[in-house]
Structure 1
Amino acid sequence: MNTDEGRKLMRVVQTCSASPSQWDAWTADGQYLYLRYRHGGGCVEWHPGSGDDDDTPDSWNKGRSGLLVEWDDGTGSGAISLEDFLATAGLALAPGASVS
């Protein structure tokens, strides 16, 4: 994953707003990321992108996935704004990014 482009998100879809807060996201270079925040802990995982016939949680355990970053802020909270999550994770929205 290109380091600069891999940190810029072109599309973000919130899949849960609290307990946990989580999003599906795609980087400017097409990498799929899973963003999750629960009990004060955040993580960003990379996985095979959607549209792949072998793009299932089972395939994620075949060495095609990994952990990009994780942290614990000590709050025990289950909710975080996308902006705060991205800032803590070292990610950013690319110009013209789609957020839903």
Structure 2
Amino acid sequence: MDTDEGRKLIRVVQTCSACPSQWDAWTVGGQYLYLRYRHGLGCVEWHTGPEVEADTAESWNGGLSGLLVEWDDGTGGGDISLEDFLAVAGLELAPGASVS
């Protein structure tokens, strides 16, 4: 995944607003990312698409999924704004990005 294209999001859809805060996102290069924050733990995973079962060994071991970044902010918190999540994860919205 190209570093610039892999870090700029063109479409973000919030799928849960709190406990956990999570979003489906697509980079400008078309890569699907799963963004999640729960108990102060944040992670960005890449998958072939939102329909991939993220927890299956086949997905991870078969190279269909992977971890882009994760962190523990030590707060134990359950919700985070998209802006704060992107800043910590090193991601950004592309100009004209769709956010819903």
Q: Is TM (by shorter chain) over 0.5?
A: yes
Deviation of 1:90 (Å) = 0.1
Matched, 1:12 2:8: no
Equivalent residue number for residue 59 of structure 2:
60
Aligned-partner SS, 1:79: coil
Provide the C-alpha distance between the structure 2 equivalents of 1:49 and 1:71, rounded to a whole number of angstroms: 23
- Which segments of 5 or more consecutive residues in structure 1 lack a partner in the other structure? none
Equivalent residue pairs, number: 96
Cα RMSD (Å) of the superposition? Answer: 1.2
Equivalent residue number for residue 46 of structure 1:
46
Which stretches of structure 1, 4 residues or longer, exceed 4 Å deviation after superposition? none
Equivalent residue number for residue 24 of structure 2:
24
TM-score under structure 1 normalisation? Answer: 0.91
Identity %, equivalent residues: 78
Provide the C-alpha distance between the structure 2 equivalents of 1:76 and 1:91, rounded to a whole number of angstroms: 22
Deviation of 1:63 (Å) = 1.8
Deviation of 1:69 (Å) = 0.1
TM-score under structure 2 normalisation? Answer: 0.91
Aligned-partner SS, 1:30: coil
1:48–1:60: 8 Å Cα contact kept in structure 2? Answer: no
Aligned-partner SS, 2:14: strand
Deviation of 1:43 (Å) = 0.1
Provide the C-alpha distance between the structure 1 equivalents of 2:59 and 2:46, rounded to a whole number of angstroms: 9
Q: Alpha-carbon deviations, 1:16-68, whole Å to 9, x = none?
A: 00000000000000000000000000000000035xxxx52156232211000
Equivalent residue number for residue 96 of structure 2:
96
1:30–1:49: 8 Å Cα contact kept in structure 2? Answer: no
Equivalent residue number for residue 82 of structure 2:
82
Counterpart residue type for residue 35 of structure 1: L
